[in-house]
Amino acid sequence: MTGLLRSGAPLPASVRAEAGKRGLPRVVVSTATATAESYLQGAHVTAWAPAGQVDVIWMSEKSAFAPGAPIRGGVPVCFPWFGPLPWGNAPLHGFARVSDWTLAEVTEQGDEVALVFTLSDSEETRASAWPHPFDARYTVTVGAGLTLALEVTNTGAEPITFAEAFHTYLGVGDVRDVSITGLEQAPYVDRLVSPEWLEPTGEPLTITAETDRVYAQPGTIAVVDRAGARTLTITAQGSANAVVWNPWIAKAAAMGDFGDDEWTQMVCIETCNVLDAAVTLAPGERHAMVATISVSATE
């Protein structure tokens, strides 16, 4: 596959463009420190593994990989809204994750490769439930860690407000044997119960049932995966929230693009600005949200 990079410049030897599943275009990175892949639909990261590690990014075997349909697993980019909207032709979690992004730049420095994807307002996005001018620049830096950076600029003449999230699916050995730290002192909303903010628990989080929580003021989050003998650490900047999600048994079985037993293999730790932390930008202003995932051995 040629011509994938907007400028037409050749790709570094560590990067190749090819047709992925169901013919959707993707970019594959392979360096001495890591491998990764990302689809242009949704600028969707679908794999990242540091050298010597099994994949950190979880994907469902049931994912459709169909044009215009969400990819199940990986790192969906949720923008400019999060969750459902009660009006208009509004896909869940916004249009960014089902839009075709442009691969604008690829740079290589040492053992790291940065892929830069861009998305701007179009006739289609302006006809959606969020009809505003914007530029989005999404940089995926692949190395021994994985860094995701989404920069949104208001290119219009009026203020804009949006929600955003990296809906990151992390692979674990067994979610029932996972402990999540860094949220002990964070207030949270249990979206399965009510929209009210609850007091911090003071304890590490374990997954024992369907889980869908929005946390405020999170710190560095660590997913201690005892069955997988590793710890996945997520640090963030420009993010006021974190979401923890696992569908558990009944919801997984009810989802057509999610295997009945796959819920044991994943947990979503989402870096985001949602609910009352949605971002408002004046004309010409920009906002950046950054998340970095790293891997270490569990002691």
Asked if residue 205 lies in contact with residue 175, where contact means CB atoms within 8 angstroms, the answer is no
**16 dihedral zone (left: phi>0; alpha: psi -120 to 50; beta):** beta
Q: State both tokens at 91.
A: 């896909």
CB pairs under 8 A, 24+ apart, for 159-162? 159/280, 159/281, 159/282, 159/283, 160/80, 160/132, 160/133, 160/134, 160/280, 160/281, 161/278, 161/279, 161/280, 161/281, 162/79, 162/80, 162/81, 162/130, 162/134, 162/278, 162/279
Paired with 287 in beta bridges are 152
Tokens of 157: 């003449």
Separation between Cα atoms, residue 296 and residue 299, nearest integer Å: 9
Helix, strand, coil abundance in the chain, percent, nearest 5: 10, 45, 45
Which residues are known catalytic residues? 167, 270
Closest CA to 139 of 147, 131, 127: 147
DSSP 258: S
Q: Which residues does 144 contact at the CB level (< 8 Å), separation at least 6? A: 33, 34, 50, 51, 111, 294
Cβ pair 89, 129 in contact under 8 A: yes
The 8-class DSSP code of residue 73 comes to B
- Alpha-helical segments (H) within the chain: 123-126, 248-254
